[in-house]
Amino acid sequence: MSATPHSVVIGAGIIGLSCARALLREGHAVTVIDRDPAGDKASFGNAGGLGITEILPASSPGLIWQIPKWLADPLGPLSLRPAHLPSLMPWLVRFLRTGTKAEVARIASVMAGLLAPVYDDMLPLLAELGLSRDLHRVGALWIYDTEAGFERDAPAHALRRRHGIEVETISAAEARRLEPALAPTSARAVVTPQWSHLSDPKRIVDRLREALMAGGVVMRMLDATAIDGQAVVTAQGERIAFDHLIVATGAWSGRIARLIGDPVLIESERGYNATLPSPGVTLSREVIFAQRQFVATPLEIGLRIGGAAEFAGLDAKPDYRRSDALVTLARRYLPGLDTRGAVRWMGNRPTTPDSLPVIGRSPRRRDVVYAFGHGHVGLTLGPTTGRLVADIVTGRTAPVDLSPFSIARFA
């Protein structure tokens, strides 16, 4: 290894950039390669929330019985393109096996430890970027349409409380006092005070990329197609030599991992949203419509209505009817909503069947470190993941047990 180690990071989303930042601070020369470093990414098209309450896996006991109902509902939270089902099956089988009480408890414990230092890692980054005022620590409001829906989520909220997450049950009337724009149709509500949201997630990603380039990180618009020895081979015919390789290219990371010989179950859980520039209603915090599985977040650029999960593969064209369906749903809960000028978006959330990210060395190569698969908490865990990757690369003992996040669990 050279006197100044050279780390190559594949991926310029929030995870890859956070890894680059952490390695730069360790004295590494860092190159980031991405097919479009400044282009559209899940990192800045998300709902903008820091979801430190999100310790539970997406799979849960009894979920299998809800899936047909969701698929049949044109306004439902889930869609699946039939042509993708054969490819999805191995992931889906593992996903359904995760939905046991014991597995949910195990994963919640693991994720609680990973998410605990989020603010310790995020606040310094925002201060460095001059964006401290972009973080709004005002909690989140969860809305339930029915008592039955509230009761179904009670075990999940109880599990959160056991891991130190504040969950306060309030009445529907109290919820409307907090957010007067809400329609008087809900039955119950929950407040999670430790939640927060950002003014504009894209601004953080853009500012971080610019700061890294100013600090000496080399940003290359290249598409990695092979790993040959200690070099990344690109579609453009270049070879980028490395001492350490960090794979952080989101939903595309499985393709790189397979080049190295590491099998992984990773899917694009395609998320949709619509951002309303002049919504005509005011929210003070992120509102989570728990039974309908979508959110509304007040961003500086407008009200973002986000959610939905579509499984169609990485290469399928977006179906923006999913964005339109979210807007239709939002109008039921926010009757004064002005939907004119809605900006529709789709992004590829990198999702593992057990909802745990992949963070750790390749079992085959000590010079390759994985950092992907964060699902709905990529923005939340960006700086924390960067710090952990730096610990791995430098040989320090990480402050949390990283074995549950190893790619070896898919072998």
Say whether pLDDT at 1 is over 80: no
Q: What SS3 state is found at 275?
A: strand
Pairwise CA distance, residues 183 & 320, whole Å: 26
Q: What SS3 state is found at 316?
A: coil
State how far the alpha carbon of 8 is from the alpha carbons of 33, 40, 182, 215, 247, in Å: 7, 21, 47, 16, 9
Say whether pLDDT at 2 is over 70: no
Dump the DSSP string for 105-118.
HHHHHHHHHHHTTH
Band (pLDDT 50/70/90 cuts) for residue 3 is confident
382, HSE (Cβ side, Cα atoms, 13 Å): 30
Tokens of 23: 């390695």
Band (pLDDT 50/70/90 cuts) for residue 7 is very high
Lowest mean pLDDT among 65-79, 137-151, 316-330: 65-79
Q: What is the pLDDT of residue 308?
A: 84
Q: Is the pTM of this model over 0.85?
A: yes
Band (pLDDT 50/70/90 cuts) for residue 404 is very high
Assess contact for 257 and 264: CB atoms under 8 A: yes
State how far the alpha carbon of 174 is from the alpha carbons of 65, 141, 142, in Å: 32, 11, 12
Domain boundaries, the chain: 6-43+202-264+355-410, 55-198+266-351
Pairwise CA distance, residues 389 & 393, whole Å: 6
Write down the mean pLDDT value for the chain: 96
Domain 55-198+266-351 is in which class?
alpha beta
Assess contact for 135 and 285: CB atoms under 8 A: no
Say whether pLDDT at 253 is over 60: yes
Choose which CATH entry (3.40.50.2020, 3.40.50.300, 3.50.50.60, 1.10.540.10) describes domain 6-43+202-264+355-410.
3.50.50.60
Band (pLDDT 50/70/90 cuts) for residue 35 is very high
What is the pairing mode between strands 302-311 and 294-299? antiparallel
